[in-house]
Structure 1
Amino acid sequence: MTARILVILGMAASSLYGQNILRSPTYFEMVPGAYELQSTSPRFSTTAKIDAQLEIERIQGNTGYIVPPKNGVTLFKNSSPKSSIDVAGRLYSNSIIELFEIEYRTTYQNPDTTWKFSHEVWYKIFINGQVYFTDFRVHELEMARQLPKFSQDVALAFQDTGYDYFYDNGYPEHFHFLAFKKTAGGLVLEFDSQELDFKCDCEFWELDTDTYEWKILDNGSLFIKLDGYKDSFVGTWDGRSLTKE
C-alpha cells in the first residue's frame, strides 16, 4: 500500500505502516464527558461467536493482534453501530488481525476523573478474510525475528497506550511474546505468552535503541531483555516455552 493523502468525508487521511489513517478535523477539540467503548458495551451483547485467526501468510507492517477481555469484545459490521442489526459477533480469543484503517474521531475530557481523557477511535480490521469494525484498542506486532533452528518466526505484540490527550503516542504496555510455526502455507500461531510481567512506563521507549536486546544463542534459543523506566523483563525462548530469568 503506497503512501497517500486523501480527503474522505471531511477527514484527513494518509497511509502509515500499511493502513489508512483518518483523523477528524475536530479530533483535538475537547468534548466534555467520557467516551463509552461500544465493543465492550452490554447493550451490544450477542450469542454469535467469531473465530480467532491463528494463521497468516507472513508478518507485515499492518499485521496486528487483538486481546479481548474474558467476556469478549463485540465486532461490528460498520463503525457507527446503532442497534443489534449492526453487530457481526463477539470475539473471545486472542487473534491475529490485518489492520486496514484507523479512524480518530473525538477526544473527550472529564476533569472529574484521574485519567481525564478518553477517545473515540475506530479500527477497520480483517479476521479470517472478513471485515469487522471495533473501537477496542488493538496491539501492534513488532520485532519479528526468524529462528531457523525451530522453524519459527517470533514477535512482540503491545499497545501504545498514549498520554494526556494523545491516544496512542508512546507508552507501550501489555506486551505479549508470540511464536509462529512455519508451514508450507505460511505461519501458524502456536504460542502466546499472555501478558508479560513487565511494565514499561516509558514515553519514548523505542525498538531501535538499547531498551531491548534479542539475541540468538549458540543452541538456537532466543535471549530476550526488555528495559523499561524502572522495570525489566529477561527471559529465554527455547522453541517451546518462555522462561523468565
Structure 2
Amino acid sequence: MANSRFRPINFLPLVFCFLIVPLTESSSDTNSVYSPCSDAKIQRKDGFSFGIAFAGYSEFLPNSSSNSPQLSPCDRRLSLSSANSQVAVFRPKVDEISLLTINTSNFFPDSYGGYMVAFAGRKYAARSRPTFVANSSHIVTSFTLVLEFKKGTLQNLYWKRFGCALCSGNGAFVCINNQYCAIRTSSCKNRGGNIDCSLGIQLSFSGTDKHDSVFNSWYEVKNLRQYSLFGLYSNLRDSLTSQFNKFF
C-alpha cells in the first residue's frame, strides 16, 4: 500500500532553465523515473530528476514550528501546493558538471518566501536545508549544489558555501553574514536597475552509482575553484541568459 504521507505534488510552471551540458541521450539514460517524488537507482550518464522548491523558511517545517523536523517538499503534510510557493524541476546528466539557470525577469524569489530547498526521492525523502535566496533588500544569484549518492540512491543534497572572497572588492555585491555574495535588489533589471539577477546553480555529484563507480564531478568543481577558469565558467550564466532574453 502506498505511503499516505507522500503523493505527487503539483509542479507550477516557473521559469526557463538552461543546462550547459548536453542533454542526456536516450541510449545512455537507463533511468525511467522522471518524478522528483519517486525513488531512482542510477548509474553514471543517466538522467536524474530533482526539484527545487521556493517558499518561506517556515513553510518547509510542519506546523511552521522552528523545533519541528524539516520535511521533504513531496510530503503532503507541508501543503506547499496550497502555500505561496513555486517549484522548478531539473533532469541533469549524472556526474556531469551542470549550470542550471533560473530566469528572474518574471519571477522574483522574495515574492515566494525567499528560501529554496532541493529535494528528490520518496523512501529516503532526501532534501537540502533551506538556503537563503532573496528578501526585499538583497538577492543571492550564485549557488553550488552537491547531490550525494550511495550505490546509486540519493542520500542527501548540500548547498556549498564559499564565503565572500569571490566578490570582495566588487561594488555591485554585498557580503551577508560572511557567507553570501548578494546583489542589492534595487540594482536588478526587474527592480529598476541594470544587473541581470537570474539565479545560477552549479550542480555536481558525489558518492557512488549502482555499480559502485565513483562520481568525480564534485572533486572537479573543488579543483576548478582554484583556477581563474572558475570565473570564466561562472560567467557562462550571464552569457546564456543574455542570449535567451534576446528572443523575448
**Does the alignment reach a TM-score above 0.5?**
no
Structure showing greater Rg: 1
> Higher helix share goes to which structure?
2
TM-score after normalising by structure 1: 0.29
